[in-house]
């Protein structure tokens, strides 16, 4: 490693914080450290994080990570879960905990979007058309979008709204803490649904800001993810164990940055990411939209591109929940053994991973998970297999609509910690009937993508695409026709279960 340069990348997930020392040649993560992330649930449907605590945790990881490499680090980048809101004062101090993407307290906001006649899919038609024309999307009914959260603050914490100097995302807060600069990446800005994203660029839309009462001065400057937001301040450098003045990239949200880290960066080339949540996405030169199945386009972390995405709320998070519930936390090897013993569909069970509502292909905050057809003969291994099959079927549900929108795929890239389950990756290829290429160290997609942004911003790489060409893949899985037929049969039952229970979920959870 003599003479190599390195990037420090931070990936703030919902349940885990990661820090990686990434070499600038093949973008291998030569050192990685992690720790659990704390999510606070003050009330049912609420989800928050203490962002000052996040910084302190990341700083502790960083000091151990860079020990002995301090002089060879040439850039820093952050990525974090998207759609959070962090109000800060004029010194950059947070005024409250971050309201994160999982939070549903703002369901039904902004209220005017759901009122009036005529309505389509529950939206006021005229307001919906304006959102779609300007932003390429619209806030969902679940209240998880930043605009919905801002309106909730107006009604329920007006003093916080008034005192806020800037409303940042989680990535933006970390960048501000590091540099003193208030920035927002194009992907995060477009996800507020307050920015004009026509013509492959993004700017705050003054008309929407006026209509929804959001002062322009309270929003950060939008800058490309590959731009340098600023240089590491002395106090931040001490916290992180790095040299003062190191360039810090603007970075971006977890979906778009991991999208780069998947290596699938050509136009229309899709990837599947399986982490706590999951998504299917592709970069594109056009804003594509399927509003009836909540598949849309936000700006990409690659300047000038769109990121077409179908996002789902829970994937491997369901396995984590199951392991913790059964006293086997971290027992991923036990899951692999169960999958080897019980074949796809062999459990006789159906599992729906809608543990926190769902987004694509149905935008429904009332859905919940279910384990269907369980009996006294069902085993722990049967349930583990059913959960994995449920994750795969849910991805298939969204993917069928996604491919119709983006175009047929010759293969799919696969990234995320869930991709480490060999049987899951293999069975996914069969269920989707598409070859699947797994990224080397798929759990590092976010770290790798963040490092690619820093590499581009510092000029060490000529572009994000040039960086991605250096990424390595370790496995390719081919579809098995027999397993495909098993999943086709299961899928019919899966979608039938949704149709027959969605009304009941609404009655129970509204």
DSSP track, 311-345: EES-SHHHHHHHHHHTT-TT-HHHHHHHHHHS-TT
Dist CA 169 CA 101 (whole Å): 10
State yes or no: pLDDT of 442 exceeds 80: yes
Dist CA 249 CA 464 (whole Å): 13
Q: Mean pLDDT over all residues of the chain?
A: 96
Radius of gyration in angstroms for the set of CA atoms belonging to the chain, rounded to a whole number:
22
Dist CA 411 CA 476 (whole Å): 9
DSSP state of 461: S
The tokens for 388 are 């994995």
State yes or no: pLDDT of 419 exceeds 80: yes
Q: In terms of DSSP H, where are the helices of 308-432?
A: 316-325, 332-341, 380-406, 422-432
Are 23 and 66 within 8 A, CB to CB?
Answer: no
The neighbouring-strand residues paired with 97 are: none
Are 83 and 256 within 8 A, CB to CB?
Answer: no
DSSP codes, 117-159? SSEETTEEHHHHHHHHHHHSS---TTS-SHHHHHHHHHHH-HH
How many Å separate Cα 113 from the centre of its chain? 25
State yes or no: pLDDT of 510 exceeds 90: no
Strand segments, DSSP code E, in 37-107 are 48-49, 73-80, 86-88, 98-99
Other C-beta atoms within 10 Å of 270: how many? 25
**Coil, helix or strand at residue 68:** coil
Dist CA 152 CA 146 (whole Å): 10
Mean pLDDT of 459-482: 96
State yes or no: pLDDT of 443 exceeds 70: yes
**Coil, helix or strand at residue 390:** helix
Mean pLDDT of 450-459: 98
Question: Which has the closest alpha carbon to 297: 131, 85, 107, 104?
Answer: 131
218-253 burial code (b ≥16 CB/10 A, e <16): ebbebbbbbbbbbbbbeebbebbbbeeebbbbbbbb
Question: Which has the closest alpha carbon to 8: 25, 31, 26?
Answer: 31
Are 269 and 282 within 8 A, CB to CB?
Answer: yes
The neighbouring-strand residues paired with 413 are: 271, 437
pLDDT tens figures, 331-357: 999 999 999 999 999 999 999 999 989
Dist CA 192 CA 372 (whole Å): 37
DSSP state of 264: -
DSSP state of 94: B
Give the torsion sign (CA, 399, 283, 14, 159): negative
Dist CA 261 CA 417 (whole Å): 13
Are 73 and 246 within 8 A, CB to CB?
Answer: yes
The neighbouring-strand residues paired with 228 are: 249
State yes or no: pLDDT of 2 exceeds 90: no
**What is residue 363's predicted lDDT score, i.e. its pLDDT?**
86
**What is residue 140's predicted lDDT score, i.e. its pLDDT?**
85
Helix and strand totals (H; E) in the chain: 16, 26
Q: Which residues contact 469 (CB under 8 A, 6 or more apart)?
A: none
How many Å separate Cα 327 from the centre of its chain? 28
pLDDT tens figures, 23-50: 999 999 999 999 999 999 999 989 999 9
Dist CA 107 CA 436 (whole Å): 36
Are 165 and 232 within 8 A, CB to CB?
Answer: no
Dist CA 17 CA 434 (whole Å): 32
Q: Which residues contact 402 (CB under 8 A, 6 or more apart)?
A: 270, 280, 295, 308, 310, 360
**What is residue 3's predicted lDDT score, i.e. its pLDDT?**
57
Question: Which has the closest alpha carbon to 98: 158, 52, 157, 156?
Answer: 52
Dist CA 366 CA 382 (whole Å): 26
**What is residue 389's predicted lDDT score, i.e. its pLDDT?**
98
Give the torsion sign (CA, 477, 482, 486, 487): positive
**What is residue 112's predicted lDDT score, i.e. its pLDDT?**
94
**What is residue 34's predicted lDDT score, i.e. its pLDDT?**
97
Angle at 319 between CA 316 and CA 320, to 5 degrees: 90
Phi and psi at 188, nearest 5°, equal -65, -40
pTM above 0.85, yes or no: yes
pLDDT tens figures, 164-174: 999 999 999 99
pLDDT tens figures, 282-300: 999 999 999 889 999 999 9
Are 411 and 271 within 8 A, CB to CB?
Answer: no
């Amino acid at each position: 490693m003599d003479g190599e340069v390195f990037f420090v990348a931070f990936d703030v997930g919902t349940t885990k914080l990661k820090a990686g020392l990434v070499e600038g040649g093949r973008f291998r993560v030569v050192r990685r450290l992690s720790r659990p992330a704390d999510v606070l649930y003050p009330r049912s449907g609420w989800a928050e994080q203490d962002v000052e605590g996040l910084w302190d945790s990341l700083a502790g990881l960083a000091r151990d990570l860079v020990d002995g490499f301090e002089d060879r680090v040439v850039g820093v980048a952050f990525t974090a879960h998207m759609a959070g809101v962090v109000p800060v004062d004029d010194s950059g101090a947070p005024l409250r905990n971050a309201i994160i993407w999982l939070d549903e307290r703002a369901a039904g906001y902004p209220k005017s979007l759901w009122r009036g006649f005529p309505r389509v899919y529950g939206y006021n038609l005229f307001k919906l058309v304006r959102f779609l024309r300007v932003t390429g999307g619209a806030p969902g009914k679940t209240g998880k979008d930043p605009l919905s959260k801002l309106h909730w603050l107006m009604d329920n914490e007006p003093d916080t709204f008034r005192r806020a100097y800037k409303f940042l995302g989680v990535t933006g807060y970390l960048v501000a803490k590091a540099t003193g600069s208030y920035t927002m990446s194009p992907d995060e800005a477009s996800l507020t649904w307050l920015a004009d994203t026509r013509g492959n660029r993004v700017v705050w839309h003054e008309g929407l800001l006026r209509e929804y009462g959001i002062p322009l001065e309270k929003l950060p400057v939008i800058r490309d993810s590959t731009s340098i937001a600023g240089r590491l301040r002395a106090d931040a450098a001490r916290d992180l164990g790095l040299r003062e003045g190191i360039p810090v990239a603007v970075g971006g949200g977890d979906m778009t940055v991991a999208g780069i880290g998947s290596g699938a960066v050509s136009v229309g080339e899709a990837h599947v990411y399986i982490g706590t949540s999951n998504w299917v996405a592709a970069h594109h030169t056009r804003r594509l939209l399927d509003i009836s199945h909540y598949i849309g386009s936000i700006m990409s972390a690659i300047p000038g591109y769109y990121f077409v995405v179908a996002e789902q709320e829970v994937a491997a998070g369901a396995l984590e929940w199951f392991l913790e519930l059964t006293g086997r936390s971290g027992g991923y090897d036990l899951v692999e053994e169960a999958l080897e013993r019980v074949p796809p569909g062999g459990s006789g069970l159906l599992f729906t991973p809608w543990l926190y509502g769902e987004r694509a292909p149905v935008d429904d905050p009332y859905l919940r998970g279910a384990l269907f057809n369980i009996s006294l003969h069902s085993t722990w291994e049967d349930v583990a297999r059913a959960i994995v099959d449920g994750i795969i079927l849910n991805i298939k549900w969204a993917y069928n609509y996604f491919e119709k929108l983006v175009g047929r795929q010759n293969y799919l890239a696969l990234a995320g910690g869930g991709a480490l389950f060999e049987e899951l990756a293999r069975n996914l290829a069969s269920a989707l009937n598409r070859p699947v290429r797994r990224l080397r160290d798929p759990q590092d997609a976010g770290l790798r993508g963040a490092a690619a942004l820093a590499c581009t911003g510092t000029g060490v790489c000529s572009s994000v695409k040039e960086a991605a060409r250096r990424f390595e893949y370790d496995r390719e899985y081919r579809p098995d026709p027999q397993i495909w037929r098993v999943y086709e049969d299961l899928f019919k039952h899966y979608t039938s279960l949704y149709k027959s229970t969605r009304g009941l979920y609404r009655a129970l959870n509204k």
